[in-house]
């Protein structure tokens, strides 16, 4: 089998890469050892957030990706449940609110729309919100998408409109390189597939794919659980989260961190995230995490105390030591491009990542400077 | 086995002690007691082991009770549930 591009990973990042490349006229094959959205993506909540990013390269990428998602929403249509619902970040205490307001002020300089919301006005945005919060900031650019549906529909559109081939249940066993070191293809149980470009979109397992190609990319798992309530009548309008979520995401602590991220879905269930802990690839459900998340959600929405949980789900957010994703060509293995390590922001950052990867392969100017995301940036760590 | 008196949609019914609500209703020939929240389609028992949440029912004004894993109790006021039940 021959192609222009082999995408490793049928999650949201792989789907966006495949869609952008196929739409640009490239012959694309997507391989995944599991099903569509069966790894990192399926454990995600569907955040497309600018609100939680501090000014810098990730925020610039998030703003670019928000626009790219809006465009994808036009192209793919309704089935992805793309919802420009806006985000509302709330603080329980005045000190936290002061930090949040200063954070929002800094974000505005980068192009984020952020509107301070006084304590008395919070219930105009969210009628069921607790009355004892100090205040918040409303971010109208935040969006939500159903990540599994989005990955599936993007791959389907790439296949039907642009001829991409999707091979699930096909594990990459090796990466083939030519005498000059450049990539020539991948080896699978079905044989060798040849392509001059392969895209590492393996999410949490991106480091393993990099290793198969003979390069080091430090991607580690950070476990996160999400709670799912029984279906409810429309109750929560926006993506609502506690201001300390931002501090938790940026934290380097290995211990358990939880901060409520609460949102309704089209099906009526309410999703409650987000926990973060570094425990390797251990999937065991921790009841203490469930209790903490539920308690924190109830602090924001007391009405949830009367609601039953149906289930929890969880998985691993792929993070790099500097909390930035790895996007772009790898000069150590010409023909290899990485699109992984997006941590908990992979759904949101996927759309721009796909466009940037396609631009890189086509040799067209990049929409954003890829240097902060360069795959070889960790080399100096190994002295 | 002692009998348990309860009502379904206000009508008196009787079950064996220890039966689930689902078993009690099915013993009276009631196979469906909920409608889905979007299409209004009928639902009753599917998995029967508490996993699928298809058999939800309203008991003593509490919605979304799983009929398959909840025991019928004397005096229970069991009601059909439409949609989310709230």
Q: Are A233 and B53 an interchain contact pair (Cβ–Cβ within 8 Å)?
A: no
**Strand order from edge to edge, sheet including A197-200:** A165-167, A28-31, A5-8, A197-200, A336-340, A326-329
Q: Comparing A296-305, A372-381, B70-79, which segment has the lowest mean pLDDT?
A: A372-381
Q: How far is the alpha carbon of A266 from chain B, nearest alpha carbon, in Å?
A: 11
| Alpha-helical regions (H) of chain A | 12-23, 57-76, 94-108, 122-125, 147-162, 206-212, 244-250, 287-300, 346-362
Q: Chain B contact for A230, CB < 8 A?
A: yes
For residue A274, say if its preceding peptide bond is cis, omega within 30 degrees of 0: yes
The β-bridge relationship of strands A115-118 and A135-139 is antiparallel
Q: Is the per-residue pLDDT at A382 higher than 60?
A: no
- What domains can you pick out in chain A, each with its CATH number? 5-70+147-219+322-381 (3.50.50.60), 87-140+220-319 (3.30.9.10)
Q: What is the pLDDT of residue A383?
A: 45
Write down the pTM of the prediction: 0.92
Using pLDDT thresholds of 50, 70 and 90, give the confidence band for residue B1.
low
Beta bridge partners of A229: A309
CA dist A65 and A79 (Å) reads: 19
Hey, are the CB atoms on B84 and A310 less than 8 Å from each other?
no
Contact A233 B84 (CB under 8 A): yes
Residue B66: the pLDDT is 96
pLDDT at A249: 65
What are the pLDDT digits (tens) for B32-69?
999 999 999 999 999 999 999 999 999 999 999 999 99
Q: How far, in Å, are A106, A199, B71 from residue A180 at the CA level?
A: 47, 19, 71
User: Chain A: residue nearest B38 by CA?
Assistant: A267
Percentage, residues of chain A above pLDDT 70 = 97
Question: Which chain B residue's Cα is nearest to A231?
Answer: B84
Pick the CATH number of B3-82 from 2.60.40.10, 3.10.20.440, 3.40.50.300, 2.160.10.10: 3.10.20.440
Whether A266 has its CB under 8 Å from any CB of chain B: the answer is: no
Domain borders along chain B are 3-82
Q: Calculate the alpha carbon distances from B51 to A286, A310, B45, B55 in Å.
A: 19, 9, 11, 10
Across the interface, whether the CB atoms of B53 and A310 are under 8 A apart is answered yes
Per-residue pLDDT band at A258 (split at 50, 70, 90) = confident
Q: Which chain A residues are within 8 Å of B86, Cβ to Cβ?
A: 232-233
Q: How far is B22 from chain A (nearest CA, A)?
A: 19
Q: What is the ipTM of this complex?
A: 0.80
Per-residue pLDDT of A278-322, as tens digits, reads 999 999 998 999 999 999 999 999 999 999 999 999 999 999 999
CA distance A86 to A328: 30
Task: Write out chain A residues lying below 8 Å of B84, CB-based.
Answer: 230-233, 268
Q: Determine the pLDDT at residue A255.
A: 78
The shortest C-alpha distance from A307 to chain B (Å) reads: 10
**pLDDT tens digit sequence for A122-147:** 999 999 999 999 999 999 999 999 99
Beta-bridge partner residues of A138: A88, A115
Counting one residue from chain A and one from chain B, the pairs whose CB atoms sit within 8 A come to 13
Give me B30's structure tokens.
């009631």
C-alpha angle A345/A351/A356, rounded to 5°?
A: 105
pLDDT one-digit tens code per residue, A216-247: 999 999 999 999 999 999 999 999 999 987 77
Is residue A371 classed as helix, strand or coil in its secondary structure?
A: helix
Per-residue pLDDT of A27-43, as tens digits, reads: 999 999 999 999 999 99
CA-based nearest distance A281→chain B, Å: 25
CB A330 within 8 A of CB A338: yes
Q: Do A273 and A292 touch, CB atoms closer than 8 A?
A: no
Instruction: Answer whether residue A381 shows pLDDT above 60.
Output: no
- Give contacts of B70 with chain A, Cβ < 8 Å: none
Which residues from chain B sit within 8 angstroms of residue A308, using beta carbons? 64
- 3-state class (DSSP) for residue A89: strand
Cβ within 8 Å, pair A230-B53: yes
How far does CA B5 lie from the centroid of its chain?
A: 14
Closest CA to B33 of B59, B3, B55: B55
Question: Is A230 in Cβ contact with B84 (below 8 Å)?
Answer: yes
More confident residue, A253 or A109: A109
Please state, in angstroms and rounded to a whole number, the distance separating the CA atoms of residues A294 and B18: 32
Could B84 and A232 be called an inter-chain contact, meaning their C-beta atoms sit closer than 8 Å?
A: yes
User: What average pLDDT does this structure show over A242-270?
Assistant: 83
> Using 50, 70 and 90 to split pLDDT, how confident is the model at B86?
confident
Closest CA in chain B for residue A268: B84
> Which residue of chain A comes nearest to B52, CA vs CA?
A310
Residue with tokens 């219930």: A123
From residue A159, give the alpha-carbon distance in Å to each of A152, A229, A338.
11, 35, 22
Residue A198, class by beta-carbon neighbours within 10 Å (0-12 exposed, 13-18 middle, 19+ buried)? Answer: buried
Place of tokens 């703003």: A63
Tell whether B53 is within 8 A of chain A (Cβ): yes
3-state secondary structure of A261: strand
**Rounded Cα gap, residues A34 and A118, in angstroms:** 47
Residue A93 has pLDDT above 60, yes or no: yes
How do residues A167-189 score in pLDDT, each as one tens digit? 999 999 999 999 999 999 999 99
Going by the DSSP 8-state scheme, the letter that residue A364 receives in this structure is: P
Closest CA to A283 of A207, A344, A203, A222: A222
CB contact under 8 A, B37 and A231: yes
């Amino acid at each position: 089998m021959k192609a222009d591009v082999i995408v490793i990973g049928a999650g949201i990042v792989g789907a966006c890469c495949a869609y952008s490349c196929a739409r640009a006229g490239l012959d694309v094959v997507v391989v995944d050892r599991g099903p569509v959205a069966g790894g990192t993506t399926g454990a995600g909540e569907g955040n497309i957030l600018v609100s939680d990013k501090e000014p810098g390269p990730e925020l610039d990428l998030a703003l670019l990706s928000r626009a790219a998602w809006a465009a994808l929403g036009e192209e793919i249509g309704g089935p992805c449940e793309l919802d420009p619902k806006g985000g509302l970040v709330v603080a329980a205490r005045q000190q936290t609110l002061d930090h949040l307001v200063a954070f929002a002020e800094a974000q505005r300089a980068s192009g984020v729309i952020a509107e301070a919301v006084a304590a008395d006005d919070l219930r105009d945005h969210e009628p069921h919100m607790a009355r004892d919060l100090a205040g918040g900031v409303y971010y109208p650019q935040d969006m939500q998408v159903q990540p599994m549906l989005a990955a599936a529909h993007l791959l389907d559109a790439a296949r039907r409109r642009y001829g991409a081939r999707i091979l699930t249940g096909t594990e990459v066993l090796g990466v083939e390189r030519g005498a000059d070191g450049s990539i020539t293809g991948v080896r699978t149980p079905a044989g060798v597939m040849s392509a001059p470009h392969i895209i590492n979109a393996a999410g949490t397992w991106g480091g393993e794919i990099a290793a198969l190609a003979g390069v080091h990319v430090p991607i580690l798992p950070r476990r996160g659980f999400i709670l799912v309530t029984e279906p409810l009548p429309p109750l929560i309008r926006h993506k609502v989260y506690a201001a300390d979520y931002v501090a938790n995401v940026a934290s380097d602590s290995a211990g358990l961190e939880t901060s409520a991220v609460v949102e309704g879905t089209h099906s009526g269930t309410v999703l409650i995230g987000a926990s973060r802990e570094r425990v390797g690839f251990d999937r065991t459900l921790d009841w203490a995490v469930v209790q903490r998340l539920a308690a924190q959600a109830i602090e924001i929405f007391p009405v949830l105390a009367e609601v039953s949980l149906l289930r929890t789900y969880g998985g691993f957010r792929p993070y790099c030591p500097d909390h930035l994703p790895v996007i772009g060509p790898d000069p150590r293995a010409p023909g290899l491009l990485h699109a992984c390590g997006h941590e908990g922001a992979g759904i949101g950052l996927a759309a721009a990542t796909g466009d940037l990867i396609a631009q890189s392969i086509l040799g067209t100017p990049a929409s954003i400077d890829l240097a902060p995301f360069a795959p070889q940036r960790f080399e100096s760590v190994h002295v | 086995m002692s009998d348990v008196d309860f009502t379904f949609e206000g009508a008196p019914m009787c079950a064996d002690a220890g039966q689930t609500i689902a078993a009690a209703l099915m013993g009276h020939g009631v196979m469906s007691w909920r409608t889905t929240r979007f299409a209004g389609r009928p639902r009753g028992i599917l998995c029967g082991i508490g996993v699928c949440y298809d058999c939800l029912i309203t008991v003593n004004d509490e919605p979304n009770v799983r009929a398959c894993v909840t025991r019928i109790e004397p005096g229970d006021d069991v009601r059909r549930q439409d949609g989310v039940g709230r």
